[in-house]
Amino acid sequence: MFWKFDLHSSSHIDTLLEREDVTLKELMDEEDVLQECKAQNRKLIEFLLKAECLEDLVSFIIEEPPQDMDEKIRYKYPNISCELLTSDVSQMNDRLGEDESLLMRLYSFLLNDSPLNPLLASFFSKVLSILISRKPEQIVDFLKKKRDFVDLIIKHIGTSAIMDLLLRLLTCIEPPQPRQDVLNWLNEEQIIQRLVEIVHPSQEEDRHSNASQSLCEIVRLSRDQMLQIQNSTEPDPLLATLEKQEIIEQLLSNIFHKEKNESAIVSAIQILLTLLETRRPTFEGHIEICPPGMSHSACSVNKSVLEAIRGRLGSFHELLLEPPKKSVMKTTWGVLDPPVGNTRLNVIRLISSLLQTNTSSINEDLMELNSIGVILDMFFKYTWNNFLHTQVEICIALILASPFENTENSTITDQDSTGDNLLLKHLFQKCQLIERILDAWEMNEKKQAEGGRRHGYMGHLTRIANCVVHSTDKGPNSALVQRLVKDLPDAVRERWEAFCTSSLGETNKRNTVDLVTTCHIHSSSDDEIDFKETGFSQDSSLQQAFSDYQMQQMTSNFIDQFGFNDEKFADQDDIGNVSFDRVSDINFTLNTNESGNIALFEACCKERIQQFDDGGSDEEDIWEEKHIAFTPESQRRSSSGSTDSEESTDSEEEDGAKQDLFEPSSAGAEDKMEVDLSEPPNWSANFDVPMETTHGAPLDSVGSDVWSTEEPMPTKETGWASFSEFTSSLRWCPAQDHKSAWRRQRPGYTSQGNQSPSSFLLPRMSWERQ
């Protein structure tokens, strides 16, 4: 957003534009030409809007680059030209949309012979698409005047970029009426019939795929639009044309004409599957169906589509038995002769979609053809094809869950005179589903007992068996399934009952066991605390608060310093404070008014806290309250700044002493704190900062040397705490070092002490250099 305020630095482009002889290529060689164009550089926009520059930009897109150029830079200028023209600059869009000569120059790309250069085609499609979205009326009017536009689109439909352009023409126009005009225009040009004709064995595979995808997207886009505009009085003409029975029959006639071409068959089945998708409201002439979990108002299938497919069910069944010829496939576990193939897999997907409609006539044809039995044979033959296993499982589940409804409710179910589901009886009696499940399970157990590998369909077989059991207990056809199981031969029924209680039950129980434990994994650090010894309950809120405190501190340090081990990657002034970045975010509550917590705190202090002395005062209670007396000189110094200090109370004098102690004085190195030695002191404070101490302790000394009850050495001036070496102000902060009560903070250094519950609970202070 800097360019709005002219805060960006001037680029080399501005310098170039000051020259009168600057060329377009010179500007395009600049790295920041695209950024300057999007930033609305006035001089650059004015230069690009020149007629000769716009014409050159369009020429770069539609003309093939010289063959003798280096491949790395061959498409440099076409790419930059495309990005400049699609940078969404309003002046450029206006000039291109209003200049018919430039549009004609751009349109001439479609006049080239097939196949088009795919990269240049993508540039052309991108530029024309943004013009359609920004100038829809002008561009559509221009294209309508070109009588050969639809012919050229069909000619180059094998190029994916041209297919995208066709779909952009349907999606980029947002106003309802202009969009409806485009749909009517394309329908008058018979775009649907022409795309259907491409799905033919005589056409190339790329044309099959793109034509099929175009028709599928037209169906989805039209249905989505119908869902968004519920009150639309005019139906989508393209969708209505594609759903006509004669169009579907023509499509199926193409793919079953003489030779079997897998590409054409799969492309046609993809179109049928899209038409059988149930995602739209019901209209006149549609059969409403509702699979489990969907509302009745959200799904419908055109009856003409079902009738057209029903007439070719025999041809689809033949594809299951004799698919297009495929070579033998050798795998690591055996030879597939023939392999399943994409054709048969898509035919089974089509059968699954037809079963979802639960149409009586189609169910009868499937029973007569025994298509369900054929796909069950394939299930057990192709042990390792899980794509196949999934579709067969869906087919069986749909048959078991097919509801009983009357024809007046628009769903036609296949029932005999007794009200039974004929397709379900066919599955149990003719296809012998129960027997095949039991035989396959026993075969697998026998193979595994001999050291063989578990069959690849066992997971799907388990789900199918569970689906049968569920249908017996709670399914919509539970009474029929119970009777069909009861009518099984006695030996088969006993095997099934034993299988359900033993093998299937054990498998289900084993499948429900968690693979990974859900218990909390604690840290394995050296300072891990045994909470049983300290009296902390494993589920206590105190332990949880302590754990949360540790994790918040670790997260802060980890995020702020991750990957930066060298000090040069971090701000030296901030390294010392990195542990305090998120102290304010720590959120835990301890109720100190409860007697139980007080007793727990006192017990913890007695058991875990070690004295700081090195043996000189073992009998002395370090927690006993001590009195610190200051010399009159120190008191005079602390009260010299105000004339009213003599009238203050004792507590005010003590506050004044603390004020001098914790705040830097303007006297600098002359400021010292004097301790009254007229009485034998019980202990003296030795701060862990650079100063003169009574023992001459090193700067890094902590522990017993910090707190001492020994007399000061007579050879040195005693009772003074020197702050002369401090170069910056001090501030008071909560201590982060959980091992000592006082901590030194230097730039670039952070003390990481061991943590313990006792030190966690104690309020402490520390000196920290800012």
For 635-683, write each residue's pLDDT tens digit.
Answer: 444 444 444 444 444 444 445 444 444 444 444 434 444 444 444 444 4
d(CA 768, CA 770) in angstroms, rounded, equals 6
| 14: nearest Cα among 29, 33, 297 | 33
Q: Which of 354, 391, 353, 398 is nearest to 375 (CA)?
A: 391
- pLDDT confidence band for 213 (50 / 70 / 90): very high
Q: Is the pLDDT of residue 274 over 60?
A: yes
pLDDT band at 381 (very low <50, low <70, confident <90, very high): very high
Q: Are 258 and 314 in contact (CB under 8 A)?
A: no
The token pair at 24 is: 């377009």
Give phi and psi for 261, each to the nearest 5: -110, 115
Q: What is the pTM of this model?
A: 0.65
Rg of the chain taking only CA atoms, in angstroms:
42
Going by pLDDT thresholds of 50, 70 and 90, the confidence category of residue 276 is very high
* Of 43-47, 223-227, 336-340, highest mean pLDDT: 43-47
Q: Please report, for the chain, the start and end positions of each structural domain, with discontinuous segments joined by +.
A: 421-512
Distance, in Å, from the CA atom of 350 to the CA atom of 354, rounded to the nearest integer, reads 6
Confidence band for 204, pLDDT divided at 50, 70 and 90: very high
| Separation of alpha carbons 673 and 717, rounded Å | 12
* Angle, CA of 648, 670 and 720, to the nearest 5°: 75
Q: Are 768 and 747 in contact (CB under 8 A)?
A: no
Distance CA 742, CA 734 (A): 10
Q: How far is CA 314 from CA 54, 319, 342, 465, in A?
A: 59, 9, 19, 30
- At 481, which amino acid appears? V
Do 528 and 522 touch, CB atoms closer than 8 A? yes
Residue 25 binned pLDDT confidence (cut-offs 50, 70, 90): very high
DSSP β-ladder status, 765-769 and 720-722: unpaired
- State the greatest distance between any 2 C-alpha atoms of the chain, in Å, as a whole number: 120
Whole-angstrom Cα distance, residue 57 to residue 72?
20
Instruction: Please report the pLDDT score of residue 199 as a whole number.
Output: 95
The Cα–Cα gap between 218 and 271 comes to: 10
How far, in Å, CA of 502 to CA of 507, rounded? Answer: 9
Q: Which residue has the tokens 């699609």?
A: 86
Cα distances from 64 to residues 55, 80, 449, in angstroms, run: 15, 15, 67
Residue 332 confidence (pLDDT)? 82
pLDDT tens digits along 106-146: 999 999 999 999 999 999 999 999 999 999 999 999 999 99
Residue-wise pLDDT for 509-561, tens only, equals 988 876 665 554 444 444 444 444 444 444 455 666 666 665 555 544 444 44
The pLDDT value recorded for residue 328 is 85
